[in-house]
Every structure is written in C-alpha cells, then in structure tokens.
A and B are shown apart, each in its own frame.
Chain A
Amino acid sequence: MTLMSVEQLTKTYQSTNVVDELTFSLEPGKCVALLGPNGAGKTTTLRMLAGFIKPTKGEIVFNEERFSRDVRHYVGYLPQYPVFHNWMSGEEFLIYVGQLAYLTKHEAKAKAAELLDLVNLSDAKKQRISKYSGGMKQRLGIAQALIHDPKLIILDEPVSSLDPIGRREVLNLIRELKKDATILFSTHILNDAEEVSEEILLMHKGKMIKQGAISEVSETQGTTSIHLSFGEEPKFIEERLKEIDSVFNVNREEDGFIVTVHDINIARSQLLDLIKQEDWELTRFEIGKTSLEDIFMKAVTE
C-alpha cells in the first residue's frame, strides 16, 4: 500500500523545467530523504506535494481510496525559512494554525500543549515569537506542521540552517516522529540523510537520478573502497596498485590512498599479497562502503 504516488510530476517556469517528470511513491511509515544540490528543484517538488503550487503536468495521488479532500488536510509542511506572526506567542500561533486546520479551539489548545512539550518549547510558550532563536523557530515550525496529525510530514531543509546542537535536536525529533508518520525531508547534507532515513530520492537539475533504499542505492554502485596508509610511501605504488585486475580506481588522499575495487574478497587478498610480497610498511587497511557522497558526486557529475 502506498501513501502517495507521484507520476511524471513537472513544473515549468519560463519554459525551463524546474522539476522534470518525477515519478515515485511514498510508503507509509518510512522516512525518505530528498537529496540534491542547491537548485535541483527540491523545494518546488515539496511545495507541489504539499498542495500549494499546481504542477504544470503530472499527477499526485494521495492514497486515492481513503482521502479525497484537499491534500492539505493530510500533509504537514515546514518551509525552508519558516516565518511566523512575530507578534504572537508560540502557543498562540500553534492554536491559530490548529484552528485553521479545522480543530476546535479546545482540541487545538490540547494539541498545542502536547507539541510544545515534544519540541521542548513549553518554557517559552508565552514568549513572543520575535524573541525566539533560530533553533527555537525551527522547532516551532516542526510543531506547527504536526498540529493536525498529518499522515505525511514534509520538511524542507529542516536542519541546514541550524548549529550542531540544533541540528542534533531536530534529527532526534525526526527519529521520534518516524514512529507514527511518514516523513519526507529535503537536504543537501548527506550525513543527515544517512542518519535518519531509510530511503533516498536523489535529484539533479529537476530530474530524479536515483531512488531506493539506502542500502540498495549503495549496492547498485557495485564498488567498494579500501583506505590504505603507509608509514613510508613505497615507490611507484600508484602504478603497482593499478596493475591489480580487481582494482577499479586509485585516488591519492592526504593520508594515503583510496582504492576503489570491484569485488572486495578478491581485491583484499590480492592487495594483501602484494603488500606482503613487497614488504611495504602498512599502517592502515580499512574497508569502507561507498558513502552517499560518492554516489552523489558520481551521479551529479555523470
């Protein structure tokens, strides 16, 4: 069962396709990261999914049998730079947007209190929003997205503008929210995606260039990297390493070499054989999976 399926979603501004024929679906209870460099079309995509810009072409079907009303009833949205009515207090604002989403005053109050607690703003709830720090505003932004118990939570760059502490708080919050709702969030920071999401959608120049579970996406790459460091750098080592048939690429790093290989088992024994045979002074031999960053760089530069 899918929560939302998107087909050939396209948005055109002045004859350029900012978003170009995206097709994907969101499964309930998953946390999905929408990745891509700045200008990839992430925000435009999210705005279309949240139901307040119309796609030029394509379809967004929100679990068609169960929900037929305005999609905004089921979606909570946090814009990249949330702006509030600064003359209100945090609590007032939550109650206001709650009532906009058709909660009664009483329900809105109860929900606001619960969410203020969740995002750790209970102490500041009577303060005017103009006095809030950036991190507090971001947390209030998340709270307002959750006020009407949405089935899908869309967060646009929820952590990019935060300091490390704020970032940690928000990531923990996302991990908490994952238990009850589907989350789609955009980011250009790959670590964040790896940390909390199960699936990724990778966009570049409006197009979807990769999608799937993180483990799948990194496996389809078919390569693994090995980090090698030596006490004293042997002569012609780069050439010697490249001669090995399972080695795909060798990159010089500050503290050694990153060797990209096809088959890790073959490559490991071949490399260790060579090192033993030449008696090189090995100080580090580390097998690492391809990181999202590698996938990202590879996909984007292709």
Chain B
Amino acid sequence: MQWQTIFKKELTEHWRSFKWIWVPIVFIIFAIMDPLTMYYFPIIMDTVGNVPEGATMDFPTPSVAEAMIMSFSQLGMLGVLIAVVVSMGLVSKEVKSGVYELVLSKPVSFTNYITAKYVAILMLIAFSLAVSLLVGWYYVNILFGTISFIQITISILFFIVYFMMILGIVMLFNSFLKSQGLVAFLSIITVVALNVISSIYSHVITWSPTLISDYINVYFYSGQLETEIWFSSVSAVAITVICLITATITLKNKAID
C-alpha cells in the first residue's frame, strides 16, 4: 500500500512536469529523424544543394534493416542521455531540497522508496521507447519495406531491458550523491565505459548487457535471434537488481548530514 502511494505520487509528479508528454515526443523525433532524412536525402539535395548541371549522384537507399537500426542507434545514444537526465534527480533532488527529511520522518521503507521510484520512471521510459520505435517502424514500413510486428515487438522488449539497466545505474548514483549533475555525469561515464569495454572484448564477454543493441541489429539483418541476447538480458537484469539493492542499503545506512 505504501509502495503504491509513492508510485502514484511519482507518476503524478512526472505527469505534472509534462514528462509524459515531452519524453515520448523527443524519443519519436530521435526514432524517425534518420530514416526520414535518409529517404528524402536525394530530394533534399535537389532542392537546396548546389549540384552542378549534369552531375549524377547515386545515393544507395538503405535497406529495411539498416533504416530500422538507425532508429535504434539514435535512441541508444540520445535516448540514453534523455533517460539519464529525467532520472538524475529522482532521489538526489529530494535529499538535497530536504523533502526527503519529511518523507523519511514517516515510517517509510527504503525498499519501497527506491523501487516505487524506479518502476515509475521505468514505465515512463519504456512507454516512450515503445511509442517512438513503433512510430519509427511505421515510417520504415511505408518507406523502405516490411518488418514484421513480432520482430519489432521483440526488439523493443530487449531494448527496454537495456534501458532498465541504465535506470538502475542512475538510481545507484542517486542514492549517494546530492548533486544531480554529478549523478548524470557519472551515470553516462559508466554507460560509455561499459560500452567501450564490451565492444573491445565483444568476443570474450558475449553476455555483456551493452551488446543487447548489437544483437538487435543482427536480428534485423538475419531475422534470427542470437542466443547471446538472452545472456546479455539476464546480466542486465542482474546488474539492475544489484544496483537497486545497493541503492537501498546505501540510503538506509546514510545519515542525513
């Protein structure tokens, strides 16, 4: 019951700060930007470019898989950034402003506090990802060719698992830092580091959670789901759980100074 109270309050707060509106819109822009510009590139060049008379330019139209991957990779970079920004203050802002003190003077369980906030923001991000990628999929289907609904749905679900881990990392930094900027900075550094390490050693740590997007790409090219994507997802969930448990313990042990 207490969990639902905090959860509902979070949803309301996200709603009143218009996050439920602007995050999906920004995600949609990220998802359709590249496929659309690629498709209309020749026309755009014709209208605005100073192409010399008689010059012929051949732009290879991207394949369906390539177009869809563009949507995913945009969200994999800019989308992560937005996800970090909307969640960087979830706990740290409340601790810094002092609301945390009032909330905590009631018999609030730290587990409820952390997990309710986490699930609320995850819902917002998962919703935004699903909507934006479905819009992206719609345009790709019209402009480039067919991708099945099953395939896009499975891809979106795995992509959400990747974002689950990112939000878990942000929650962890939230629990022991008061500065929102520092939370965002360290979260992004961590995600980038994970990405770099796993792409260097991608043959060794095939289960790395940051390879989920690579496996989704392969899925679009081949139509076959790699087995490794399951291991990557399990490790993403494991990291999320560890982050949330650590965040709870950190908050519990921390005296408010």
Q: Show the binding face of A for B, using Cβ within 8 Å.
A: 13, 47, 50-54, 69-70, 72-73, 75-77, 79, 81-85, 87, 96-97, 99-102, 104, 141, 144-145, 148
| Interface contact A100-B103, CB-CB below 8 Å | yes
* Cα distance, A80 to B6, chains bound together (Å): 24
A102 proximity list for chain B (CB < 8 A): 1-2, 107
B109-146 interface bits toward A, Cβ cutoff 8 Å, 1 = contact, 0 = none: 00000000000000000000000000000000000000
| Interface contact A72-B106, CB-CB below 8 Å | yes
| Interface contact B9-A96, CB-CB below 8 Å | yes
The size class of the interface chain B forms with chain A is 20 to 34
Measured CB to CB, the nearest residue on chain B to A77 is: B105
| Interface contact A82-B102, CB-CB below 8 Å | yes
| Interface contact B105-A50, CB-CB below 8 Å | yes
Measured CB to CB, the nearest residue on chain B to A52 is: B104
B33-52, CB < 8 A from A: none
* Cα distance, A83 to B5, chains bound together (Å): 19
* Cα distance, A127 to B257, chains bound together (Å): 31
Expressed in whole angstroms, the minimum distance between the Cβ of B138 and any Cβ of chain A is 35
A77 proximity list for chain B (CB < 8 A): 102, 105
Expressed in whole angstroms, the minimum distance between the Cβ of A24 and any Cβ of chain B is 21
B16 proximity list for chain A (CB < 8 A): 87
Q: Counting CB contacts under 8 A, is B13 at the interface?
A: yes
A145 proximity list for chain B (CB < 8 A): 105
A50 proximity list for chain B (CB < 8 A): 105
* Cα distance, A140 to B257, chains bound together (Å): 24
Q: Is the interface of A mostly helix, strand, loop or mixed?
A: loop
| Interface contact A97-B103, CB-CB below 8 Å | yes
Measured CB to CB, the nearest residue on chain B to A87 is: B16
B102 proximity list for chain A (CB < 8 A): 77, 79, 82-84, 97, 141, 144
* Cα distance, A72 to B178, chains bound together (Å): 24
Q: Is the interface of B mostly helix, strand, loop or mixed?
A: helix
Q: Counting CB contacts under 8 A, is B108 at the interface?
A: yes
* Cα distance, A70 to B107, chains bound together (Å): 7
| Interface contact B255-A83, CB-CB below 8 Å | no
| Interface contact B256-A83, CB-CB below 8 Å | no
| Interface contact B105-A76, CB-CB below 8 Å | yes
* Cα distance, A87 to B13, chains bound together (Å): 8
Q: Which of A76, A83, A99 contacts B101 (CB 8 A)?
A: A83
* Cα distance, A83 to B99, chains bound together (Å): 5
Measured CB to CB, the nearest residue on chain A to B112 is: A100
Expressed in whole angstroms, the minimum distance between the Cβ of A42 and any Cβ of chain B is 15
Q: Which of B2, B13, B101 contacts A100 (CB 8 A)?
A: B2
| Interface contact B257-A99, CB-CB below 8 Å | no
Point out which of B13, B17, B98 has the most chain A C-beta atoms below 10 A from its C-beta. B98
Expressed in whole angstroms, the minimum distance between the Cβ of A290 and any Cβ of chain B is 36
Point out which of B103, B106, B257 has the most chain A C-beta atoms below 10 A from its C-beta. B106
Q: Counting CB contacts under 8 A, is B97 at the interface?
A: yes
* Cα distance, A244 to B195, chains bound together (Å): 88
Q: Which of A83, A84, A101 contacts B106 (CB 8 A)?
A: A101
B99 proximity list for chain A (CB < 8 A): 83-85
B105 proximity list for chain A (CB < 8 A): 50-52, 72, 75-77, 79, 145
Task: Given A72-B106, A73-B107, A144-B102, answer yes or no on A99-B2 (Cβ-Cβ < 8 Å).
Answer: yes
